[in-house]
Amino acid sequence: MDSMDIVGKSKEDASLPKATMTKIIKEMLPPDVRVARDAQDLLIECCVEFINLVSSESNEVCNRAEKRTIAPEHVLKALEVLGFGGYIEEVYAAYEQHKLETMQDTLKGGGKWSNGAEMTEEEALAEQQRMFAEARARMHGGTVAPKQPDIEPNPES
Amino acid sequence: MRQAGTYSGMLAVMSGKNVPHSLPLARIKKIMKKSGNDVKMISGEAPIVFSKACELFIEELTRRSWMMTLKGKRRTLHKDDVASAIAATDIFDFLVNLIDDNGREVEGGFGRRGEPTS
């Protein structure tokens, strides 16, 4: 069965992937417990309804704050208003974790030359040519001394 | 590209749970956009917050439903258990549209929230 099948009465309504939802549900329960198919479907519908509810409230919060884009803090406020304040701590922690993760990806993504700043295309090109020159030099028996990359850590980047 | 193992590992340490299953952000964003007539632009980070909130919501609803199952001394979680959990929890009031008085799912109840279907 396609794990992305739409659960919903109206074709135009988006839903959530059954497989992922099922995993979350099953993880909450002891391993020998079974979940009836219709119970699973209802749980998924409830989740979509939850998103609808919190989205509407987030939209309101955003309006009141006179902002044009719904931001995480609007969502957190909405959760509180709706009675889901107990989720805020964990949700916020997950959000912070994600930000940290994304930042680390950016740092690692540039390879050894990356120091948190993104290289411009010219810099990247220059770096590439320098590498080629080094490689060529090595191939020719080291007639040209390979240059060390001279990118220094740049604190204000 | 983020390594799945590292990510899961970090979160597992943090939340003490097993591998977290992230809900697809694009799908969440789609649902958010359909939730109202005048939905504003959504920041790239908002769906992430939603993803976690949904997870917690499902977990709570599942847990409460499961308590109903235990009350009935069963090992299979039925739709009625979910309905009972909804009826018994104040903050789940917004879900009553999805179930009828008999604790069964309303036909065609899923759609724009708050609208009666029959």
Q: A132 to chain B nearest CA, in Å?
A: 26
A77 and A10 fall within a common domain: yes
Asked if B63's CB is within 8 angstroms of A52's CB, the reply is: no
CATH class of B8-58: mainly alpha
What is the secondary structure of A81-108 as a DSSP string? HTT-GGGHHHHHHHHHHHHHHHHHHHHH
Residue A3 in contact with partner chain B when CB distance is under 8 A:
no
CB A36, CB B79: distance < 8 Å: yes
- For A110-146, the pLDDT digits (tens) are 555 555 456 677 788 888 888 888 888 888 765 555 5
Q: A3 to chain B nearest CA, in Å?
A: 12
What pLDDT shows up at residue B10?
46
Distance CA A42, CA B81 (A): 11
Asked if B56's CB is within 8 angstroms of A43's CB, the reply is: no
Asked if B24's CB is within 8 angstroms of A17's CB, the reply is: yes
What pLDDT shows up at residue B85?
96
DSSP for residue B105: B
Distance CA B28, CA A14 (A): 8
**Which residues span the domain enclosing A4?**
1-83
Chain A residues in contact with B66 (beta carbon < 8 A): 28-29, 33
Residue B103 in contact with partner chain A when CB distance is under 8 A:
no
Residues in chain A predicted with pLDDT less than 70, given as ranges, are: 1-13, 109-119, 141-157
What pLDDT shows up at residue A149?
57
Looking at A53, A83, A113, which one is the last position of a domain? A83
Residue A55 in contact with partner chain B when CB distance is under 8 A:
yes
A98 and A79 fall within a common domain: no
Side-chain-side CA neighbours of A134 within 13 Å: the count stands at 10
A6 and A67 fall within a common domain: yes
Side-chain-side CA neighbours of A37 within 13 Å: the count stands at 1
A90 and A70 fall within a common domain: no
A70 and A140 fall within a common domain: no
A76 and A117 fall within a common domain: no
Asked if B65's CB is within 8 angstroms of A51's CB, the reply is: no
Nearest-Cα residue of chain B relative to residue A62: B40
What pLDDT shows up at residue A9?
47
Rounded to two decimals, the pTM is 0.66
Tokens of A52: 């609808």
Q: In a structure prediction context, what are the per-residue pLDDT tens digits for chain B, which is 118 residues long? A: 554 544 444 444 444 444 455 788 888 888 888 887 777 788 888 888 999 999 999 999 999 999 999 999 999 999 999 999 999 999 999 999 998 755 555 654 444 445 455 5
What pLDDT shows up at residue B21?
56
Looking at A31, A62, A83, which one is the last position of a domain? A83
What pLDDT shows up at residue B15?
44
Looking at A83, A103, A121, which one is the last position of a domain? A83
Domain boundaries along the sequence of chain B: 8-58
A74 and A108 fall within a common domain: no
DSSP for residue B11: H
A49 and A119 fall within a common domain: no
A22 and A49 fall within a common domain: yes
Q: Which residues is B105 bridged to in the sheet?
A: B99
Of A8, A43, A52, which has the smallest distance from its Cβ to B61's Cβ? A43
What pLDDT shows up at residue A148?
57
Residue B105 in contact with partner chain A when CB distance is under 8 A:
yes
What pLDDT shows up at residue A106?
77
Q: Which of residues 32-71 of B touch A (CB under 8 A)?
A: 32, 34-36, 38-43, 45-46, 48-59, 61-63, 65-66, 69
Distances in Å between the Cα of B15 and the Cα atoms of B8, B12, B45, B55, B64 are 10, 5, 20, 12, 20
